[in-house]
């Protein structure tokens, strides 16, 4: 079941089928192309993203708005920091 927040985002990044470190590398590249305050929805299947994406946000000053695990799929909403 999707949470309501997952319907509101500015950009979708689908990393389904990719493994560490590709999802975070793609996320880093995506964040270079968006403005502060915009929200990226990330789709992933690599369980290491449950560790790597929160650390990405913490170290780079972005906000992990919400995350959802549904079976083997992981979804994240991340707001770019200023």
Q: Which of the following is catalytic: 18, 20, 64, 65? A: 20
Rg, the chain, Cα only: 11
Q: Is 20 a catalytic residue?
A: yes
Q: In this structure, are strands 39-44 and 73-79 parallel, antiparallel, or unpaired?
A: antiparallel
Q: What phi and psi values does residue 68 have, to the nearest 5 degrees?
A: -145, 130
Active-site residue list: 20
């Amino acid at each position: 079941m999707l949470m309501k927040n997952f319907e509101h985002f500015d950009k979708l990044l689908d990393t389904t089928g990719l493994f560490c470190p590709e999802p975070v590398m793609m996320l880093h590249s995506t964040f270079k192309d968006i403005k502060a305050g915009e929200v990226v929805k990330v789709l992933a299947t690599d369980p290491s993203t449950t560790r790597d994406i929160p650390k990405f946000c913490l170290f780079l000053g972005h906000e992990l708005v919400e995350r959802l695990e549904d079976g083997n799929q992981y979804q994240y909403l991340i707001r770019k920091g200023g």
